[in-house]
Structure 1
């Protein structure tokens, strides 16, 4: 499916920021409200966006927000294929769940070493290490961003390129959380605060530097 540059900007905005009003998108994307509405109407006809119920505001009238549909989310490339899902089911049915977990551990180890090396090269500063991890994840298709909040750093992954595989084999999600925790062991605590497979629109991790470091 083809989109104009402005339509791609709108889809990207909805993917990374969640439901948005026409006014906010107009301001953030430097478009007129009429232009945004026209693009949203076209995207709606293509089945990739839809309006939500009216949301109450602290001031003024309730507004309708726009968000991606399931088809809209599927526009963002996923690095898996049907054969991957089929292979997982073959391994599970033929060799058992334990064998599948062993294979996931085999994936875990080189990924951990790859991240460790890159983060070591980035230096000792926690911020640089987090940003390096975000950059690595971006290259892998996770649409990652980093934010500093009063409660600590947030590593936000707006897209999951292995979602279909993870839904079939959730041990992958557990393995990735363990990798992040190992990367910052003795330096910071890592907890997953949003999980796509638990109903959130993204995965997000809070990274809190240890007080005695």
Structure 2
């Protein structure tokens, strides 16, 4: 199996969610049959599975989706070392020490992020796009889009610190706090999808408060 093509298929499922072979083939510029062959091989490896979804007309649609085992194909920032450090901080300084460490990390992130977001201008969408660019560079496969109601959806299709966040959920709490502080008053930031809660991605709704 061509690993490059397989990785592109996995990336499409990661960023776009469950889908049939057709849209994946269209995105990759190959035939649906070729994509199906790759998908069945990936299924044999335990990286994808499928559900057959009934449609009002015609045959059921075979929707392909990632399995938990597929996470190993996406970057996780030094998971083992990070878990060891978290455990060591807990043992040496307790939960309060770990909280102080997380707060300091957030403070530094805010300084770094704010400098780049400021350059994007005052518009809410531009600021959200700048944040998405930063997060994408850091491995979160982030993107954002404006919705019809004017709100902005920031999506992180991957979590490169998932192992650490599973062990220390303060990381997720600090992430939300960071985003809220970056947009300041009169802007509401809410997490509406959470990988650790079983969602395929983390997503944040950003709205301007009246």
Looking at structure 2, the residues matched to 65 and 74 of structure 1 have their Cα atoms a distance apart, in angstroms, of 21
Question: Mapping of 1:72-151 within 5 angstroms?
Answer: 72-151=70-149
Gaps of 5+ in 2: none
Length-normalised TM-score, structure 1:
0.92
Q: CA deviation at 1:195?
A: 0.5
Supply the RMSD in Å over aligned alpha carbons: 1.6
Per-residue CA deviations over 1:190-213 (Å, capped at 9, x if unaligned) read 0000011111110000001233xx
Count, aligned residues: 209
- Contact 1:80-1:165 at 8 Å conserved across structures: no
Looking at structure 2, the residues matched to 30 and 84 of structure 1 have their Cα atoms a distance apart, in angstroms, of 39
Per-residue CA deviations over 1:1-41 (Å, capped at 9, x if unaligned) read x8433222211100101111122222333321211111112
Runs of 4+ more than 6 Å apart: none
Q: CA deviation at 1:58?
A: 4.1
- Contact 2:189-2:205 at 8 Å conserved across structures: yes
Looking at structure 1, the residues matched to 179 and 124 of structure 2 have their Cα atoms a distance apart, in angstroms, of 13
Looking at structure 1, the residues matched to 56 and 133 of structure 2 have their Cα atoms a distance apart, in angstroms, of 36
Looking at structure 2, the residues matched to 63 and 81 of structure 1 have their Cα atoms a distance apart, in angstroms, of 37
Looking at structure 2, the residues matched to 60 and 126 of structure 1 have their Cα atoms a distance apart, in angstroms, of 44
SS in 1 for 2:46: coil
Looking at structure 2, the residues matched to 10 and 144 of structure 1 have their Cα atoms a distance apart, in angstroms, of 18
Gaps of 5+ in 1: none
Looking at structure 2, the residues matched to 96 and 5 of structure 1 have their Cα atoms a distance apart, in angstroms, of 44
- Contact 2:79-2:163 at 8 Å conserved across structures: no
Partner of residue 159, structure 1 = 158
Looking at structure 2, the residues matched to 9 and 129 of structure 1 have their Cα atoms a distance apart, in angstroms, of 29
Length-normalised TM-score, structure 2:
0.93
Partner of residue 26, structure 1 = 25
Partner of residue 58, structure 2 = 60
